[in-house]
Amino acid sequence: MKMNHHGNNHYEMELAHGRLHVFANNEVFQSFENRVYEMADNNLRIPRNLHMSYTPDAHVGIGTCIGTTAVWGLKDGFVSPSIVGVDIGCGMRVHTTSLHKKDIQDKGVRRELIKAIEKYVPTNERANTNYADIDIMEVVKHGLKGLPESYIPSERWMTHVEESTFQFDHTYLERLPEKIGKYAHGQLGTLGGGNHFIEIQYLEIAEKHQQLAAQWGLFDGQVVVMIHSGSRAWGARLGQEFTKVFREAMQSWGIENPDRNLLYAPISSVEGQTYLNLMYSALNFAVSNRHMIAFGVREAFREVFGEKEELPVLYDLMHNYALKEFHRNQPMLVHRKGATRALPAGHYLNTAAYKATGHPALIPGSMGTSSFIMVGREEGLKNFYSICHGAGRARSRRATKELVTVDEFAQSLKVGTEEEILVNHRSLQTILDECPQAYKDVDQIIDSVVGASLADVVATCKPMVGIKGV
């Protein structure tokens, strides 16, 4: 394996079947295990790849590493459900408030807020009965535009998002199994389990970007809400369905790969077109799901702090998808699996609200550690404007439970101190596999991204409350 170090945290690896770009500082780069390179080489067996890279949070996934950006030409390229991921449309959302950290420093206030949020956002049950008047099919067809007006607090909730509606050919919905709607029924506005969360944080604005932060409506000590969730059962069932469809198609075409979990098909094939169109239906579900979670959080804040709290959306974006984008004057399909798009100022893909500045790129940490609001740089073109999507797991859930004690987790959350990060679970044992020790050092991940000139930090988000589903 040949390696060329370009400097600025950018390594170029010459693997057996193509080139892999790795964006990481030396400490993170040295921590990568051989398996991540084996998976990259398997991915590079897919013909006519134009770009393959890892961001510093990269770690082993099913078929493809989380933290992958992979690009093919739209005319003769390939689409891979494995390089999209099962939780299609999983992503981040941040809402601002008029509150300062000191307004919620009191633990009693924060516990009251947790109780109110759980009232509007179910965390311990499968279905959300609060939004029975929402037609799921309208949502999967039209995204935010498929929601009743009563759930749109202001126009900003429609404009300050990566996409309010992902357009596709609705006739493909006729090919879906009937039961998919049954599984997804009642899941709008629900978190789900795993690493999904609602977190209440306060901001520390980076000195370098005080002016940009002010333009975005951010200030030091400001309380914000960060949400991480995806397309729930709608996307999960699509992922399961197309795992079977693509595997059968590859067998019929005589296509083999050392990793049977790596599935792909030509974009122009029936399978490719069907997957792409239905994937966009899952993206519509995902953005609407985060929107409705945020709507519930807004109701909770207004219940606790009064109706003056509007919770305007800062931004909503995704990190599991395959998007049609123009690069080098060519239409391309850009897969991002656990990778966040970070567009610089002036880029044509920016939503109108952020055309002049570039949009906020939202990067979560782990429970008990900082998260970050970043902005893309022009130099990000070298990685198709992709950056990390979080800290990235350092060990499996099972290994975490075996190696980390509840006391160590409690110490990370500063339990018993005035700075304690409150959580909605009575027992930390139930969420031990999401402790900071399960993840890479997010500060090293961010240092890697900044050092590679892919993006800059605008604000650091310090956790005060963590809400997890089951």
Give tens-digit pLDDT for 222-248. 999 999 999 999 999 999 999 999 999
pLDDT confidence of 73, banded at 50, 70, 90? very high
170 is in an annotated binding site: no
163 is in an annotated binding site: no
Question: Under a CB-based contact definition with an 8 Å cutoff, are residues 94 and 225 in contact?
Answer: yes
367 is in an annotated binding site: yes
In the predicted model, what is the mean pLDDT of residues 427-442? 83
Q: What is the mean pLDDT of the chain?
A: 94
78 is in an annotated binding site: no
Q: How many CB atoms lie within 10 A of CB 286?
A: 27
How many angstroms separate the CA atoms of 377 and 451, rounded?
Answer: 12
51 is in an annotated binding site: no
255 is in an annotated binding site: no
353 is in an annotated binding site: no
How many angstroms separate the CA atoms of 148 and 145, rounded?
Answer: 8
pLDDT of residue 182: 81
pLDDT of residue 393: 82
Is residue 399 assigned to a domain? no
Quick one: which of 142, 102, 94, 83 has its CA closest to 359? 94
Percentage of the chain exceeding pLDDT 70: 99
Is residue 105 assigned to a domain? yes
What CATH number did the domain enclosing 90 receive?
A: 3.90.1860.10
**Residue 279: pLDDT over 70:** yes
pLDDT of residue 125: 66
Residue length of the chain: 470
pLDDT of residue 126: 65
How many angstroms separate the CA atoms of 43 and 257, rounded?
Answer: 9
- Active-site residue list: 389
What's the total number of domains in the chain? 1
Percentage of the chain exceeding pLDDT 90: 81
Tokens 């997010």 -> residue:
442
pLDDT of residue 189: 93
**Residue 51: pLDDT over 80:** yes
468 is in an annotated binding site: yes
371 is in an annotated binding site: yes
Supply 409's token pair: 């987790």
Is residue 433 assigned to a domain? no
pLDDT of residue 234: 94
The residue among 397 and 245 whose pLDDT is bigger is: 245
How many angstroms separate the CA atoms of 23 and 383, rounded?
Answer: 9
Is residue 60 assigned to a domain? yes
The tally of CA atoms less than 13 A away on the side-chain side of residue 109 is 13
- Strand partners of residue 372: 363, 460
416 is in an annotated binding site: no
C-alpha angle 20/26/29, rounded to 5°? 40
Is residue 422 assigned to a domain? no
Quick one: which of 347, 349, 320, 324 has its CA closest to 336? 320
Quick one: which of 369, 362, 361, 365 has its CA closest to 392? 365
pLDDT confidence of 430, banded at 50, 70, 90? confident
pLDDT of residue 366: 87
Is residue 407 assigned to a domain? no
Is residue 53 assigned to a domain? yes
- Indicate the range of 109-118, 127-136, 366-375 predicted with least confidence: 127-136
pLDDT confidence of 112, banded at 50, 70, 90? very high
Put simply, whether the predicted model's pTM sits higher than 0.85 gets the answer yes
In the predicted model, what is the mean pLDDT of residues 22-42? 97
Give tens-digit pLDDT for 142-177. 999 999 999 999 999 999 999 999 999 999 999 887
Range of the domain at 81: 2-394+439-468
In the predicted model, what is the mean pLDDT of residues 390-400? 83
SS3 sequence, the chain?
CEEEEEECCEEEEEECCEEEEEECCHHHHHHCCHHHHHHHHHHCCCCCEEEEEEEEEEECCCCCCEEEEEEEECCCCEECHHHCCCCCCCEEEEEEEEEEHHHHCCHHHHHHHHHHHHHHCCCCCCCCHHHCCCCHHHHHHHHHHHCCHHHCCCCHHHHCCCCCCCCCCHHHHHHCCCHHHHHHCCCCCCCCCCCCEEEEEEEEECHHHHHHHHHCCCCCCEEEEEEEECCHHHHHHHHHHHHHHHHHHHHHHCCCCCCCCCCCEECCCHHHHHHHHHHHHHHHHHHHHHHHHHHHHHHHHHHHHCCCCCCCEEEEEECEEEEEEEECCEEEEEEEECCEECCCCCCCCCCHHHCCCCCEEEECCCCCCCEEEEEECHHHHHHCCEECCCCCECCCHHHHHHHCCHHHHHHHCCCCCCCCCEECCCCHHHHHHHCHHHECCHHHHHHHHHHCCCEEEEEEEEEEEEEECC
- Write phi, then psi, for 294 (nearest 5 degrees): -65, -35
Is residue 428 assigned to a domain? no
* Non-local CB neighbours of 278 within 8 Å, separated by 6+ positions: 168, 172, 173, 175, 176, 238, 242
pLDDT of residue 348: 94
